[in-house]
């Protein structure tokens, strides 16, 4: 079996599963945010549930429209707070303690290798970087899981992606996953588990792995997953709040497709409007002027991402025709970035630093685009109207390209700044 099949079989109490099987499986963690939890709460009450299956296994994180941007957002967030208090949920993260959910939960040791995690948010697939099976589900599935501790699944087929070769300067996990999505398309892994492997992945730091698994959904994937190793162990050993298990794929496991990529041939990439698969080398886009740069999100808002952007922009100024918004993904990342002097670098460059929030990624707040404006962002989606006006445009890149572009006033590379 593949790692995905092993985790699902274990949680379903079965010796083995095969793709296409319909199973009921117990979940280790259920999560929802200020957009999706209110729907789940209403469904939970409608089915007459008397209480949650485990108050320590349900995470509610207001991060999309929080800090609350208007009255509607405030009402949504209040629903989460009230339900959490009524049901004694230990994993309710209020503003001041919260962060972008998919950065916060790994950081806090709440999602772990071998887990089965569901979340009412499509980027729940992020946690596959830790060797967990994690996938986004609907709010009604979350409601049922909050009551029963179980969810149903169709066991997905698995695809294997093998990466080899040395990474070029300023190339990281974001570029690897953009290259992959550009190759297979936004439906190339539809309802499949995307298993990332190879020497390049085994050398990739955890933040790069999290970025790759985060965007599995952008290829239609049911999940992204990486077999855990020493890098995984180093990341989780001091964070873990409970025991965890390492699973691996059998040498004779079956995959519906196997693809190999020579990473020495991959350069910094940009996804152009209006699909994450519309990928081109950044160097080919020097004629694209921009109005806004966003560094943040569950894709690239971690400390290492901020360091990368700061390394590029240090001692320089944001172009006078551009606004740059930097959003540390969690309070801990904010604090660490402050201690390292990264926030001062951004402020000296005349960028603005935000409190942790999903904010502009989904067109929520903290950087909405007007008609005709263009943004280059380290986020994960660039659909029509994703960050504001339907006639605005979003380009996606890694943090280094984003920072260089903020200085240049157009899409560009760190090399153009002498780096």
The residue among 122, 193, 188, 115 whose CA lies nearest residue 155 is 193
CATH architecture classification, 271-417? 2-Layer Sandwich (3.30)
What is the rounded CA–CA span in Å between residue 347 and residue 377?
A: 18
Is residue 342 within 8 Å of 306, Cβ to Cβ?
yes
* pLDDT at residue number 99: 95
Task: List, edge to edge, every strand of the sheet that includes 279-281.
Answer: 279-281, 269-271, 393-396, 374-377, 292-295, 323-326, 352-353
Burial of residue 158, with CB atoms counted within 10 A of its CB: 0-12 exposed, 13-18 middle, 19 or more buried:
buried
What is the rounded CA–CA span in Å between residue 96 and residue 176?
A: 33
For the chain, give the longest Cα–Cα distance.
63
**Residue owning tokens 């950065």:** 103
The SS3 of residue 305 is helix
The residue among 154, 105, 151, 133 whose CA lies nearest residue 247 is 133
Residue spans per domain, the chain: 3-261, 271-417
The answer to whether domain 3-261 and domain 271-417 are alike in fold is: yes
Pair of tokens at residue 371? 């008609």
* pLDDT at residue number 313: 98
* pLDDT at residue number 83: 97
The SS3 of residue 104 is helix
* CA 65 distance to own-chain centroid: 17
What is the rounded CA–CA span in Å between residue 280 and residue 278?
A: 7
Give, for all 419 residues of the chain, the pLDDT tens digit.
Answer: 999 999 999 999 999 999 999 999 999 999 999 999 999 999 999 999 989 999 999 999 999 999 999 999 999 999 999 999 999 999 999 999 999 999 999 999 999 999 999 999 999 999 999 999 999 999 999 999 999 999 999 999 999 999 999 999 999 999 999 999 999 999 999 999 999 999 999 999 999 999 999 999 999 999 999 999 999 999 999 999 999 999 999 999 999 999 999 999 999 999 999 999 999 999 999 999 999 999 999 999 999 999 999 999 999 999 999 999 999 999 999 999 999 999 999 999 999 999 999 999 999 999 999 999 999 999 999 999 999 999 999 999 999 999 999 999 999 999 999 99
CATH topology of domain 3-261: Aconitase; domain 3 (3.30.499)
């Amino acid at each position: 079996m593949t790692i995905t099949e092993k985790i699902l079989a274990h949680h379903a109490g079965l010796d083995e599963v095969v793709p296409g099987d319909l199973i009921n499986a117990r979940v280790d963690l259920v999560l929802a945010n200020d957009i999706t939890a209110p729907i789940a709460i209403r469904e939970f009450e409608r089915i007459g549930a008397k209480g949650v299956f485990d108050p320590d296994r349900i995470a509610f994180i207001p991060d999309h429209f929080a800090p609350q941007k208007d009255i509607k957002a405030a009402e949504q967030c209040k629903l989460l707070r009230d339900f959490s208090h009524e049901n004694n949920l230990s994993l309710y993260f209020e503003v001041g303690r919260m962060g972008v959910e998919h950065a916060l939960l790994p950081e806090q040791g709440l999602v772990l290798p071998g887990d089965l995690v569901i979340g009412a948010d499509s980027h729940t697939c992020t946690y596959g970087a830790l060797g967990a099976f994690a996938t986004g589900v609907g709010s009604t599935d979350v409601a049922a899981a909050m009551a029963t501790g179980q969810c149903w699944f169709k066991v997905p087929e698995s695809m294997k992606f093998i990466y080899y070769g040395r990474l070029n300067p300023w190339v990281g996990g974001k570029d690897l996953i953009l290259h992959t999505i550009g190759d297979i398309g936004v439906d190339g892994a539809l309802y499949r588990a995307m298993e990332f492997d190879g020497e390049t992945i085994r050398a990739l730091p955890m933040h790069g792995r999290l970025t790759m698994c985060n965007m599995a959904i952008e290829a239609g994937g049911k999940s992204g997953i990486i077999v855990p190793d020493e890098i995984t162990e180093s990341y989780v050993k001091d964070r873990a709040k409970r025991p965890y298990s390492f699973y691996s794929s059998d040498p004779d496991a079956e995959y519906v497709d196997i693809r190999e990529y020579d990473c020495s041939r991959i350069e910094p990439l940009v996804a152009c409007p209006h699909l994450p698969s519309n990928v081109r080398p950044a160097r080919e886009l020097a004629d694209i002027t921009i109005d806004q740069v966003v560094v943040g999100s569950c894709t690239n808002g971690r400390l290492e991402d901020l360091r990368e952007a700061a390394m590029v922009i240090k001692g320089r100024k944001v172009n006078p025709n551009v606004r740059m918004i930097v959003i540390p993904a969690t309070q801990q990342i904010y604090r660490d970035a402050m201690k390292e002097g990264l926030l001062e670098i951004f402020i000296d460059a005349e960028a603005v630093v935000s409190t942790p929030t999903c904010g502009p990624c989904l067109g929520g707040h903290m950087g909405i685009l007007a008609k005709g404006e263009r943004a280059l962002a380290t986020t994960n989606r660039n659909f029509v109207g994703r960050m504001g006006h339907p006639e605005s445009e979003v380009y996606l890149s890694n943090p280094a390209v984003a920072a260089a572009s903020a200085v240049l006033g157009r899409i560009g590379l760190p090399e153009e700044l002498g780096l």
